[in-house]
Every structure is written in structure tokens, then in C-alpha cells.
Chains A and B, each alone.
Chain A
């Protein structure tokens, strides 16, 4: 018996009957086994047969239309298959522009601008000499423009730009909200400048490079300082960035569109004469970003250069640049010292920019998106672009080294670094690698720049003494009639402008030691303010003249400490 198939205990057949006469089981045909009927159970829910799952694969719709390579011809389908595999892209994501990508970029930019704002707003000190010059000139120009008053201050000669542009804006902000108002105006300009940098870098490269570039530029010492410094530099940087933005964004437009950048560039030079140094970069950028090369690019460069120069010439800004900012004498610092200082302020960013330039020359992109439509540019163009942008970053330090002074380099260096920043963004982006393989390297570079920016901007805002005590001492001894000799330029005039006029103050720098000694001997001044930080021959001669005259009494010696050392103000009043 096959127990597997016909087992007695199998429910398929009943057990055989026992025959006692034969003492064996009956070999009769067994009766069919009757099972008790199973009770009927009503289902709680009506049973419905299983429906097929309505799966419909999401059709892939690339935002950029897929164009097969030339020569490729798909084989015609001979017959419809039972199922279809949807067409899949070669990469999991697209490099094409998208709304999501734009918004992520903007959110990150907002974060960068927030950090930049915080870095600037944490700085604080009383007005620096440059700020006081801007604001005094601005108040006088404001009165001249709106009330017809004469401009009497000779500080206008020291202002490194057109006195009727930035100073008027700053004076209006100062009149409304004080020095903080004028500084916040600079912060606004600086933030707009960084946003423009982001936008133009995005146009030249992509969002990732743009955000890296903006993040690197935003934490620089020069960016943090000019963002809270009542001087024309922040406005000039913003205008230069705007001109560059127009140049880059008009690269595929008709060549004449680049002319829109000419008035902006000319205005930047008028606002701050040092901006003239980056005009050649703007012209070269107009050439190198043009598509296609070369004739359109050359035409763009020519148009922009001719229009800007014409505007500068017609408005007289060019002569102001020639006779003012660049006609000043040389300093006494060694070129090595100037370059070392510049290296501390901009070395890391320039290093990243050089790295970025080399990487850019080596390979145009990281090829994260293999199917992206690549507009390949020639290595020559890439090399030229890298050279121009990095070279501009180096231009200001080299010029300052040639002039043997770093006095204003902290303000001007940002103009050049603005152009090196896109390549620094490329450098950071390449360091992190495709698909953010090494983000820690990018973070490390940025945090280093942030740390340096914080430290250096703090030190920079400590390079001039807090004048609160000085002004409080002077306030009790000045009036609208007195004549005052000062070695501290502009600062007392600014803070005491409600009591004294600028023409009541005579700058020690503006006259010879013998003339000063003679005037002191005759008691021409009601108050003399000396800055003990300097000990020139003129200082010694003036001090001797004060003692010899016997007309003046030292009423206050106010020691101060600054980042570079210490000194003391000395205030003498006529007896």
C-alpha cells in the first residue's frame, strides 16, 4: 500500500470494515465516507476578489529635452512587449537649471549675507579719521546742495572720490541716525555687492561655485570692515560688482548691451577713485565672457572701454583721479611688509583662487552630470579668465607695495578680491569634489577664512583710538569763535560740528613747523591738540614752541591703546 497516496488515515478514504468470520478486513468496496457538513460562517465583509495594483511608472520628463547623439538611430520596435521599462536617465539628477536649485541657492545666499551682516555689526569704535572726513565733507556738501552754503573745509582735498556722491548719502544717514546710520548704509551696499557676486558667479559657473564664492568673500576682513565703515568703498565695490554683473549677464546679448555697464563703472570710479584700477578687468571680462569669441568679445571690450573713458573724461572724474588719489607721495613701509600684510588679509582666498584657476584650466567642470549640455570653452579662454581674475586680486597689493604704504589697503583690497572670489569658489568646489565627496575640506577652508576675518576685522577696528574721552575734554573748551590747532585729523571736527565749524580747525599737517611755532608763540590758537602716537620732528618742534611760549597749559593727557601699540592725546589750552 502506498501510504503516501492511499493511506488509511488519509481523509480521502474511510477505514476498511473488520470481518470477524474471516478474521480479516473485508475486501468489499468501501462506502463513501461522509463528513459532517461544516457550519456556514457569514463573512464580516463581503469578499471581493483582489484587484490588480494600479501601478503606472512615473514617466521621466527631463527638463532639458534629451537629444540623442548624432548618428544614433533607435531600432524600431517590431512588436509591443508585454511590459515597458520607462526610459531612465544616466544620472539620478539633472544639472539643468531648476526652480528648486535656484531657491536652495537663494536660501544659502541669505545665510551667507546674514553671517556677513553679523561679522560687520559686531565691530565697533568711534569714528575713524576716514569716516570723519567723509561725514564732514558730506555735511558741507549737503548744505551746499540744499541750502547753498559754501564748502569751507579743506578736508575735501583728502576725500578719495567725488564729494557730492557718497558723502552726501552718508551725511543724510548720519543726520538721521548718527554714525551708526552711515555705517549701516555701507552695510547695505556691501550686502548687495555680495549678492551681485553670487549672481555673476552663478552665471559664469553654477550655484555651488557661486555660493562658495560668496561665502568666501563675505567673511574676508575687508568685506567685514568696509561693511561697517562710513567710507565710499562699500558703495564702490557694489557698483563695480554691478558693472561686472551686467558684463557677465550680457555675454550672449547683442554687443551694445554691454554699454549699460559703462555708466555704472564710471560711477564707481567717481565714488571711489581707486576703482579705476579694476576697469581693465571689467573690459577683459567683457571680452572673455562673450560668446562666441573673438570678434564679439573684442567689440564688447572696446565699446565698454570707450564709453567708460568718455564718461570719466566728460565728467572730469579722470582728472580728479590723476591729480588726487594717485598723485600722493610714497610711504615709508617696505614692499615686503606691505605684501606680507596683504598676504595675511587675502592670502587664503587668493590661494584658493589660484587652485580654482588651475583646476578650471585643467577641466572645465567636474562632470557630475554626464548628460548636461556642455558648452565647451577653449583652454586658452579658461586660462585667460583665470589669469585676469586672479591677477586682479593681486593688483591692489602689488600697487600698494610699489607705493610703500598699506594705509588704505584694508579698504581697497576688496575691490580686487571681488574678482578673485569666483575662482576661489571654483577652488572650494573642486576641493570638495564631485557629489560632495570631501565636504570637510571646503568647510575647513571656509572656517579658516572666517576665523581670520573675525580676528583681522576686530584688530582693524582697534587701530584707531576711541575718541570719547578726547571729545568730552574738548567739548568744555571749544566755542564757535575759537581757533584750534589739531594733529588729529577730522575726528574732533566731526564730533564737535554742532559747536565749531570746520574752518576753525587748523591741521598741523597742513603747515610747516616754523609757521606753526610762530603762530603758537603769538598765541593764535585757543586750543592745541597733539597726538602723542607720532613723534616727528614737527611734533617735537611744536611741543618746544608750546613750552617756550608759556601761553598754554596741558589740561589733559589721554593715553590710549590701539592694535598697533599705544599713544596719548595731549590737549593744551591757552591761559
Chain B
């Protein structure tokens, strides 16, 4: 007969072993059932989010990127404006809309290199049905520095924020680069550095997934410096969506659409077929103002490859505001009322 103590001696380690075995097995099972790093098992059920309705800011990786292609060559013309105080506030927009009788659908604003991305302002503009247009001014550092990646920390953060917002925005970097009045102008930097900087910025934005940007390459009209070849400043069709241009009707300059923009457009057509966009324009107050406005609307209407214009309604060097000339304003109201100008970009 086996003594009872012998059973006890043998049973204790066996039970302990069994207990430990089951415990470790349960732990392993729990571990295996837990979240696994880097695993994606979304059952195709991740509902695509247009981003527009979400108003951006959601994780860019989870939403369908905003498709800007319908905005590149719309059937109607953009009717834009640059207004003081926009996009910080839309009160100036309301006032301007009341003034001209129609809400502009491009709102241009200016940001210096180093400024943060105004997410709220851009969303505000988009929610009003307009395309935000940011003129990015690289006062400092130099274009060579930007091209070399010295400011990439800022650039990448900016690009990520733009991508995360997932709303359409037009960006014009270093506008009027063919002039000599800006820090990034032709006398301060080379065309090669400009192109390198532009491409670098574009690549960083692409890398960040910011495909919601409409890239507007914007020289000044060539009239002041006809010998400066625009092609040397052109980054390439793969980097540009609109061939922009800036040209004002002044008392002493060109007086017709063809003489003001024609030479520039013809030169651009030698190296690109991108749509034209008049990134800034206005008419200097004077007797010709009504005629200039009519000429501008006629020219934009007649040229199918001009997708629209931005009226610079800011007093700077001259008072370009439309409301200071009642007759011109009336003409502007009349022409802008045409259904071919202006549309809600959210419905495009």
C-alpha cells in the first residue's frame, strides 16, 4: 500500500505544473488576441470621407484626398478678390459681396515664408464656397536655402498641415519672380534657384500627400522687363497647375487685355499649355476705369484658357478698391452678375 504522504508529495508539483501551464497559455492567448503593431485589418469598411464635409483636420491617412482636378479647368470663370483682413475674418468678404453683388469664389491672401498655415482661415474661406489662394512670399531666407532643404522642418510641417486639412487651396510661391522689386526677384536670386526651390517645395508637399494644392506659377506680365525669359523661371508642367500672371491696368501702362496680358501669354504658350490665371489685377482709378473693367471681363471671357482673375481690392501704392469709383463699381457689378463668372467651388 502506498502511503498517503507519497501521493501528496507527487501531486503538488503536478498540480502546480498544470496551473502554470494553463496560466501561461492563457497569457499567450491574451497576448495574441491583443492589438498587433502595424496591422491593418479594416474590412474594407472604412468609409471614404470626402474631407470636405469633415472640414479637414481629420487624419489625412484615413480620408480620401480632396480631388482638385474638377477645379483646374472649370466650365465657369473664377471671380476672385484680395481683401484686407481675409481670411482672418470674413466680414470684409460680406461687405465686398454686398458691394459688387456677387460673392467672389477665389480669395487671395498673403503669407510670408515662416508663417504658420492658417488652417482656420482656409477652412473658413472654403466653407464660404471660395477657393483659398495663398501667395507665399519668401522674404527670407534665400531661395537657395529653401532649395537646399535648410528650412525643411518648417516646410514639412506646413505641408503636413495642408495635407491634413484636406481642402483645396491654391498656392503661388514667390510671385513676380521676374521683377526686381522683391527679395526673391531677378536681381536678388537666380532663375535656377527659383526653379530648384519651387520643385523642392512641390516634392515635399507631394511626399506629405498634399495633393489638394493647386500650384500657381505667377510671374509678373513681361511688359516691364520684356527681355527676361519666363521659361528659365518655369519649374515644369509636372510642378505647375496654372500659369498665373500679375498685371494691372495703370494710367501709364498697357490699356487693353491683349497688350497687357497678350505678350506674356504668348511667351508662356511656347513652353506650357497650362491654363492661365490672372493672380492679381485691378484698374487704377481714373477716367478709363470703366473701360478697363469691361476690357478685363471681355478678355477673360474671350480667352477660353484663362480660368479667371483676382481683383486686388487693397489700397497699396495706389487705391485699387472698386468701391471708390461708383461708375466703375456699377460696371463691375453688371459684368460680374453674368452667370459665367463665379460659382461655388464646393459644388464643382
Q: CB within 8 Å of B: which residues of A? A: 123-127, 179, 438-441, 443-444, 447-448, 450-452, 454-455, 458-459, 461-462, 465-469, 472-473, 476-477, 546-566, 568, 573, 575
Among B69, B207, B211, max chain A CB count under 10 A is at B211
Q: A441-B21, A444-B25 are in contact. Are A555 and B68 (CB under 8 A)?
A: yes
B residues less than 8 Å from A553 (CB atoms) = 69, 72, 241
Among A123, A447, A452, A549, max chain B CB count under 10 A is at A447
Contact B209–A447 (Cβ < 8 Å): no
Cβ-based interface call for B98 (8 A):
no
Cβ-based interface call for B111 (8 A):
no
Q: A459-B36, A575-B72 are in contact. Are A468 and B44 (CB under 8 A)?
A: yes
Q: Which of B41, B45, B47, B206 contacts A123 (CB 8 A)?
A: B41
Contact A462–B61 (Cβ < 8 Å): no
Contact A561–B211 (Cβ < 8 Å): no
Contact B237–A551 (Cβ < 8 Å): yes
A residues less than 8 Å from B38 (CB atoms) = 462, 561-566
Contact A462–B24 (Cβ < 8 Å): no
Q: How far is the CA of A202 from the CA of B238 in the complex (A)?
A: 68
Cβ-based interface call for B67 (8 A):
yes
Q: How far is the CA of A477 from the CA of B68 in the complex (A)?
A: 12
Within 8 A of A (CB), among B59-79: 60-61, 63-65, 67-69, 72
Cβ-based interface call for B225 (8 A):
no
A residues less than 8 Å from B60 (CB atoms) = 559
Q: A440-B17, A553-B69, A555-B67 are in contact. Are A124 and B25 (CB under 8 A)?
A: no
Closest chain-B Cβ to A313's Cβ sits at a distance in Å of: 42
A residues less than 8 Å from B44 (CB atoms) = 124-127, 179, 466-468
B5-22: CB near A (< 8 Å → 1, else 0) gives 000000000100110011
Q: A440-B18, A443-B21, A447-B25 are in contact. Are A559 and B209 (CB under 8 A)?
A: yes
B residues less than 8 Å from A568 (CB atoms) = 209
Cβ-based interface call for B1 (8 A):
no
B residues less than 8 Å from A547 (CB atoms) = 236, 238
Q: A461-B41, A466-B44, A565-B38 are in contact. Are A447 and B29 (CB under 8 A)?
A: yes
Contact B24–A555 (Cβ < 8 Å): no
Q: How many residues of B are counted as interface, with CB atoms below 8 angstroms from the partner's CB atoms?
A: 43
B residues less than 8 Å from A441 (CB atoms) = 21
> For residue A550, which residue of chain B has the nearest CB?
B237
Cβ-based interface call for B4 (8 A):
no
Q: Which of A451, A563, A566 contacts B25 (CB 8 A)?
A: A451
Q: A440-B21, A441-B21, A473-B64 are in contact. Are A125 and B41 (CB under 8 A)?
A: yes
B residues less than 8 Å from A127 (CB atoms) = 44
In the complex, besides A125-B44, A555-B69, A562-B38, 13 extra interface pairs with C-beta distance below 8 angstroms are: A126-B44, A440-B18, A444-B22, A444-B24, A454-B32, A468-B45, A468-B47, A550-B238, A551-B237, A553-B69, A556-B64, A557-B65, A561-B40
Q: Is the interface of A mostly helix, strand, loop or mixed?
A: mixed
Q: A455-B36, A553-B241 are in contact. Are A462 and B41 (CB under 8 A)?
A: yes
Show 28 A/B contacts (Cβ-Cβ < 8 Å), sorted by A. Answer: A124-B43, A124-B45, A125-B43, A440-B21, A447-B29, A451-B31, A451-B33, A452-B32, A458-B41, A462-B39, A462-B41, A466-B44, A469-B63, A472-B48, A473-B67, A476-B67, A546-B238, A547-B238, A550-B237, A551-B237, A554-B211, A555-B67, A555-B68, A555-B69, A556-B211, A557-B209, A560-B61, A563-B40
Q: A451-B25, A451-B29, A451-B31 are in contact. Are A472 and B64 (CB under 8 A)?
A: yes
Q: A555-B69, A555-B211 are in contact. Are A465 and B40 (CB under 8 A)?
A: yes
Q: CB within 8 Å of A: which residues of B? A: 14, 17-18, 21-22, 24-26, 28-29, 31-33, 36, 38-48, 60-61, 63-65, 67-69, 72, 206-207, 209, 211, 236-238, 241, 272
> For residue B31, which residue of chain A has the nearest CB?
A451
> For residue A452, which residue of chain B has the nearest CB?
B32
B residues less than 8 Å from A555 (CB atoms) = 65, 67-69, 211
Contact A468–B46 (Cβ < 8 Å): yes
> For residue A543, which residue of chain B has the nearest CB?
B238
Q: A440-B17, A551-B237, A557-B209 are in contact. Are A468 and B25 (CB under 8 A)?
A: no
Contact B39–A468 (Cβ < 8 Å): no
Listed from nearest, the 9 A-B pairs whose CB atoms lie closest are A550-B237, A124-B43, A447-B25, A440-B18, A462-B39, A451-B32, A126-B44, A455-B32, A472-B48
B residues less than 8 Å from A559 (CB atoms) = 60-61, 209
Q: Which of A439, A458, A477, A550 contacts B236 (CB 8 A)?
A: A550
B residues less than 8 Å from A469 (CB atoms) = 46, 48, 63-64
Contact B46–A448 (Cβ < 8 Å): no
A residues less than 8 Å from B29 (CB atoms) = 447, 450-451, 454
Q: How far is the CA of A473 from the CA of B31 in the complex (A)?
A: 37
Q: How far is the CA of A568 from the CA of B26 in the complex (A)?
A: 37
Q: A455-B32, A550-B238, A557-B209 are in contact. Are A466 and B40 (CB under 8 A)?
A: yes
Q: How far is the CA of A466 from the CA of B42 in the complex (A)?
A: 7
Closest chain-B Cβ to A356's Cβ sits at a distance in Å of: 19
Q: How far is the CA of A462 from the CA of B36 in the complex (A)?
A: 10
B residues less than 8 Å from A448 (CB atoms) = 25, 28
Closest chain-B Cβ to A113's Cβ sits at a distance in Å of: 20
> For residue A125, which residue of chain B has the nearest CB?
B41
A residues less than 8 Å from B39 (CB atoms) = 458-459, 462, 563
Q: How far is the CA of A556 from the CA of B36 in the complex (A)?
A: 28
Q: How far is the CA of A547 from the CA of B240 in the complex (A)?
A: 11
Closest chain-A Cβ to B231's Cβ sits at a distance in Å of: 13
B residues less than 8 Å from A549 (CB atoms) = 238
Among A124, A127, A469, A566, max chain B CB count under 10 A is at A469
Q: Which of A126, A458, A468 contacts B48 (CB 8 A)?
A: A468
Q: How far is the CA of A477 from the CA of B211 in the complex (A)?
A: 15
Closest chain-B Cβ to A107's Cβ sits at a distance in Å of: 23
Contact B41–A560 (Cβ < 8 Å): no
Closest chain-B Cβ to A215's Cβ sits at a distance in Å of: 14
> For residue B61, which residue of chain A has the nearest CB?
A559
